Structures are given as C-alpha cells and as structure tokens.
Amino acid sequence: MPDFALSGRVGAAGTARITVAGFIPSGLVWVVSQISIEAQSTKPTMSAVVRKNGRFVTSSASGLSSSAGGAPYLALKPPDQLTVDYAGLNSGDTVLLSLFFREITWGQLETMPIEVV
C-alpha cells in the first residue's frame, strides 16, 4: 500500500493549509484507507478539518495528531482536491499530512478485504 506525505508551515495567524491536487496520474484513482494529520508544535491545541472538493470529510479532535480511516474509503481522482485546514498553532510550526491508499485503474472493480462476523 503506497503512502503519500506533504508538509507545510503555520503562518502568523496560527493556521496552515495543505492541498493534495495534481498528484494523481490520469486514468488512476487513489482509494484512501487512512488520512493522518500531525503538527510539530509545543502548543497542544491543534484542530484540523479535511475536505474533498470543498465538502467536509472529517475533523480532528484537539491535539497534536489524529487520523481518520476505515470504510467507506475515500476515492480521489485526478481532478479532485483534498484540503486540510489546520488551526490553533504557533507561527512557524510544521504541519504534516499522510495518506495511505491503493492505486487502481479508473473503472476497475475495487475489492477491499472485509471481515465477516
């Protein structure tokens, strides 16, 4: 399962944005199973909101790290834009975003393992 990571710097207002756009090759889809967010800060009041194409996906609890994962998986196609808006940090802090995903061909039937109870 490939992973993808980006980082950014917090501005004077204590906020930052990381945008995932333009990284997915044409004809492919990233099936994201986990989104991890983190801040390297001494201020443990970070919050973050994740959006796909401007629509809310999830938000973090306050703290320096959080993750969202599991079904339903998030499908990202080449024109999609995933943004993470961080707040409540110190100017100059570093923010991190990691995606864990499977890459499939557009139109391919996706079969993810499921647990039968």
Contact 41, 93 (CB under 8 A): yes
Q: Which residue has the higher pLDDT, 116 or 55?
A: 55
% of the chain at pLDDT higher than 90: 64
Architecture of domain 3-105: Sandwich (2.60)
Name residue 56's amino acid. F
Task: Render pLDDT for 96-105 as a digit per residue (tens, 0 to 9).
Answer: 999 999 999 9
Q: What is the pLDDT of residue 61?
A: 61
Q: Supply the pLDDT for residue 114.
A: 38
Q: Give the pLDDT score at 115.
A: 43
Q: Does 83 score more than 70 pLDDT? A: yes
Mean pLDDT (whole number) for 18-36 = 93
Contact 96, 37 (CB under 8 A): yes
Name the residue among 32, 91, 23, 93 with its Cα closest to residue 65: 93
State the pLDDT confidence band at 59, using cuts at 50, 70 and 90. Answer: confident
